[in-house]
Structure 1
């Protein structure tokens, strides 16, 4: 029995590859394809290109998921902007909410949110006082959640406004 060496296999493999490439080029030439078209077809069929396409698709999906998660987080930040007394309290709740949002949407982007705690201004507090006062008096059943949120948040807004006015 003949012992086959790596160099024998390499030479045999190269012969097969070169033969296939010559056949492909001849058939492409007869079909009227340019060498650039043949190279494009070969590249599209390569494993490296396939992996790159999969990686690009995953990166795009992660980017879109992050953008959607950020939109949901922005809505939460806006809805709860008067619910927290300081940055530390807000930071804990925001981190938890971000995890919930990412888990709920099944996101795998692995990125953190970029939102920061914002201490409300006097104008924002006055506007919130008026807006939350309206919601706290809402009697319609479909506004129950907003009414309850307004009733919980209104005392905090009043306290922050009082602290600002007395400072």
Structure 2
């Protein structure tokens, strides 16, 4: 009986410690498959310290409240999502969902012949393709032939304005980049 009471005491003590923490879970939305999955490994930064998920649970346990920024996530998010800020004002469980990119540069050195170009949802891009930021604004827009950009690719900022345009010839060979 005494052993059981001691076990219950330590269990309650450990739960009390966990309940005082911030628990954060990060998910990703894949527009290609329309699935939401947990991101198992990511890190949040506060000041000069980076806090990382310790195991494959996907939960990041933080001892302090306050402002944190996304430092890294081991998944195909666009780089503008890095640095995203999270404000935890009290202990508890929190989560967020990041949108994955649909148009990505890809290199397949093992294919014959080697393929270097753009992939859309894991396949070579074909025809007109548009990828979007989580806020609904365009991220990348262009025409493709067997994964090669044709004429131009337009890259947008998160606010919807043009960031830069890459120009290509009809065979998909890069010609020049114009930044705005």
Q: Answer yes or no: same fold by TM over 0.5.
A: no
| Greater per-residue helix proportion | 1
Using CA pairs below 8 Å that are at least 6 residues apart, which structure has the higher relative contact order? 1
The alignment's TM-score, normalised by the length of structure 2, stands at 0.28
Larger fraction in strand: 2
**TM-score w.r.t. length of structure 1:** 0.29
